[in-house]
Structure 1
């Protein structure tokens, strides 16, 4: 039995709950090493089991560390659980309401985040996967030769994704953002079919062995753009220097936010300072004003302050940080790459 399952079984025992139902693909993968392609019901109980679709049975049997059974129907699955004497069932908060409706008449339902708690702390192998994903992404970025690139934003985004796959990534860890000029003030801008303007903001990541990377760099060209870049870089660096176990995540956010606010741009920092990542690009906890989770060794969280001037331009600088006794940036790509 793997450690993650044992920890969740202990949580179930402490909360007097008999079983825990998982359907989120990355949670199933985290528990079993099997990555569903259609649907799956993973039930953690005394003897954990995964009900996989017929389409997935071959891959599930070949990869899962948890017993796999072919899914027949919801009624059969629920009946087998009831026959085992299971009456109380924990579910993920993300479980579709339609599935909850099918369960509520037969089981006492409670919502729990047991897997999220496990996923907060990365193992050495998980950090190695994130590190490799970052290395691939950063190497691919440097292959772009952006300063001499005459392609459009969409073409550059495509080239970056292609480089990552050629360098060993499974795919992008999210849709690559290449934006420039006034559109860089949109944090999640979609690449356009236009030539690069100034400044240039690129937010990208690779997926390696199921794990994500995430970086952002902004290339600036005018005095005003450089002024904003310097403020964001200071907020980025000071936040990372502050990270250590025992602090609240919100305290790290406050460090970067206070710096940007002191320069008069507090209202232009319109998102959190960072987010955890792993099998998903956005995990918990995050460096946000509302997250009072205590920072622990083994967490991996991005630091990505930004300033966005509507109609003018935006600057964001992002690195992923592995936390031990302090914060360590994963990868070696300089902030200023011009």
Structure 2
């Protein structure tokens, strides 16, 4: 975490900015190991500090690797910064306008993505935690015995979360998707109180020590469903094989999208090919048409092509890869669930 702060201080110096204000919970956690439960203001400067709410002080003092003070008011916090001679302040692009407005009259404000750039590259320890989250999630999925399960979608989603927690997860890393039949053509379908139909699509992940996992599997039953599954599997596999440092993220999206388009289903692939994950389930960069970020070692990104036939069914297959000289699939769950 000291290295994260050091890198940001270097960025600040290059841009002639004196301090960087963070309020997003996972950004504060990334810098300090303390994840707020109420609110917090983390200010990266020569002597970084967190202003935490009174209800969080015990937690912050226990977990934070940097100095913590109890928040009193905007005026008191701003006054302390001004006494240090701070005149320029960088902020996260996601900072709410209501918060920005408290600072704009006292500082020269600029929006910077220093923290996003830091979080793009995972440390070996971060990758270990994502691997463990994936291991827990995949083990729990197999415990469902999905092909012999007679419960409803909602009950299966509940069981999957229960199994993940039982196997060591903090919780699910996002709302578990269990969908089937025609509803599987909805990429973000909500589990219903109905028995499983065909095909069955499950998108799920575990959170382990703050880090997310993400997988999707689709189980198909008819010849037409299998035909679509095979196309998606080809796009999934070839996109993963194409990943290597130095390429642009959009080039990987193009690999998957071109395959699906060549089979005549380009307009049925209605989302990007993948997204980074870590402390948040959606981080940057992503494998999308518009993302020209250069792929680097240490990135962790999902690969999840899909085809969605409205009113009929959908197929999505998703794995998460860590990138070294090539893309390494995290976990060992087969694409095809027999």
Range into which the TM-score falls when normalised by the shorter chain:
over 0.9
What CA distance in whole angstroms lies between the structure 1 residues aligned with 2:99 and 2:293? 30
1:113 has 2:100 as partner: no
Report the equivalent of 1:216.
216
What CA distance in whole angstroms lies between the structure 2 residues aligned with 1:193 and 1:109? 50
Report the equivalent of 1:160.
160
Q: Deviations over 1:22-52 (max 9, x none)?
A: 0000000000000100000000001100000
Q: Secondary structure at the match of 1:110?
A: strand
Report the equivalent of 1:248.
248
Q: Secondary structure at the match of 1:125?
A: helix
Report the equivalent of 1:294.
294
Q: Deviations over 1:165-209 (max 9, x none)?
A: 000000000000000000000000000000000000000000000
Report the equivalent of 1:207.
207
Report the equivalent of 2:306.
306
What CA distance in whole angstroms lies between the structure 2 residues aligned with 1:202 and 1:78? 48
Structure 2 length-normalised TM? 1.00
What CA distance in whole angstroms lies between the structure 1 residues aligned with 2:59 and 2:179? 39
Q: Deviations over 1:232-279 (max 9, x none)?
A: 000000000000000000000000000000000000000000000000
Per-residue deviation at 1:147?
1.1
What CA distance in whole angstroms lies between the structure 1 residues aligned with 2:313 and 2:307? 9
Q: Secondary structure at the match of 2:331?
A: coil
Tell me how many residue pairs correspond in the alignment. 338
Q: Secondary structure at the match of 2:321?
A: strand
In the TM superposition, 1:52-201 aligns within 5 A as 52-201=52-201
Report the equivalent of 2:334.
334
Unaligned 5+ residue runs, structure 1? none
Q: Deviations over 1:79-110 (max 9, x none)?
A: 10011110100000110100011111011110
What CA distance in whole angstroms lies between the structure 1 residues aligned with 2:202 and 2:269? 18
What CA distance in whole angstroms lies between the structure 2 residues aligned with 1:219 and 1:81? 57
Per-residue deviation at 1:161?
0.2
Q: Deviations over 1:89-144 (max 9, x none)?
A: 00001101000111110111100010000000000000000000000000000000
What is the RMSD computed on CA atoms of the aligned residues?
A: 0.5
Per-residue deviation at 1:148?
1.1
Per-residue deviation at 1:57?
0.5
Report the equivalent of 2:6.
6
Q: Deviations over 1:220-243 (max 9, x none)?
A: 000000000000000000000000
What CA distance in whole angstroms lies between the structure 1 residues aligned with 2:8 and 2:101? 24
Report the equivalent of 2:21.
21
Per-residue deviation at 1:68?
0.4
Q: Deviations over 1:284-315 (max 9, x none)?
A: 00000000000000000000000000000000
What CA distance in whole angstroms lies between the structure 1 residues aligned with 2:146 and 2:297? 36
Unaligned 5+ residue runs, structure 2? none
Per-residue deviation at 1:282?
0.1
Q: Secondary structure at the match of 1:225?
A: helix
Q: Secondary structure at the match of 1:109?
A: strand
What CA distance in whole angstroms lies between the structure 2 residues aligned with 1:147 and 1:255? 32
Per-residue deviation at 1:14?
0.3
Which 4+ residue blocks in structure 1 deviate beyond 2 angstroms? none
Report the equivalent of 1:42.
42
Q: Secondary structure at the match of 1:272?
A: coil
Report the equivalent of 1:234.
234
